[in-house]
Amino acid sequence: MVAEMALQLEMEVLGYDPALSVDAAWRLSRRVQKMENMQSLFSRSDIVSLHVPALDSTRNMNNADTLGYFKSDAVLLNFARGELVEAESVAKALSAGQLGQYISDFPVPELVGQEGAIATPHLGASTAEAEENCAMMVADQVIDFLENGNIRNSVNFPAVYLERSHTGYRLAIVNHNVPRILGSVLSILADRNINVIDMINKSMEDVAYNLIDIEAQPTDELLNDILGIEGVINVRIFE
């Protein structure tokens, strides 16, 4: 989204993402130039905007070493996570003229009063528009789960989405994340000559979640047989 807005402003856009997903790559404009590493990105950019989570691998990614690659008049924007930036190194870079500006909504004591540092409150998620959008998103995702079994943004279940076909029935199966359970389920369906239209299987730590679209209407006997598989926790039907 940021890249697209920058392109609309007729900026030359460079990007670096070592974990770029296939879906994200499809959505990305061809006009975005891919950089091979952060150093090449920083050295060529007038404005750098950070969009990464705070992980062990990204914590303090902007430090004394990486800030040395920036242009002296470059602007660093950080509206992602405060932990991505080593505040003391930013203060030194600003004072030494190695960095033009640092703008963030994560105020820290090290940058209070520092020339070139602009800090704003971190309140983006508390605006009326954001609260309304979050409420609508939650309602839509709960409806999608209740009607189709799809799961998004769960803290203890994997993200699973399977488009519904116009015919057939859907089974949602929760099981312990151990081998052979999915194979046992498919064997039970095959023994009853029940054709599988589509399916998806995802896991998160100790839990696995399966959506299986089948042609025939599930019977109580079928559900009991699936529930009887060791490791199966729950089975739901969507018609």
CATH number of 129-238: 3.30.70.260
**Inter-residue contact 43 to 69 (CB < 8 Å):** yes
Model pLDDT, residue 127: 79
Please compute the mean of the pLDDT values over residues 169-192 and round it to a whole number.
Answer: 96
Domain 2-122 shares a fold with domain 129-238: no
Name the CATH superfamily housing domain 2-122.
NAD(P)-binding Rossmann-like Domain (3.40.50.720)
pLDDT tens track for 29-87: 888 888 889 999 999 999 999 998 898 989 999 999 999 999 999 999 999 999 999 99
Q: What is the pLDDT of residue 126?
A: 75
Q: Which residues contact 112 (CB under 8 A, 6 or more apart)?
A: 119
The arithmetic mean of pLDDT across residues 114-126, rounded, is 86
- Domain residues of the chain, as ranges? 2-122, 129-238
Could you tell me the two tokens for 1? 């989204």
Calculate what percentage of the chain has a pLDDT beyond 70: 99
Q: What are phi and psi of 101, to 5 degrees?
A: -150, 150
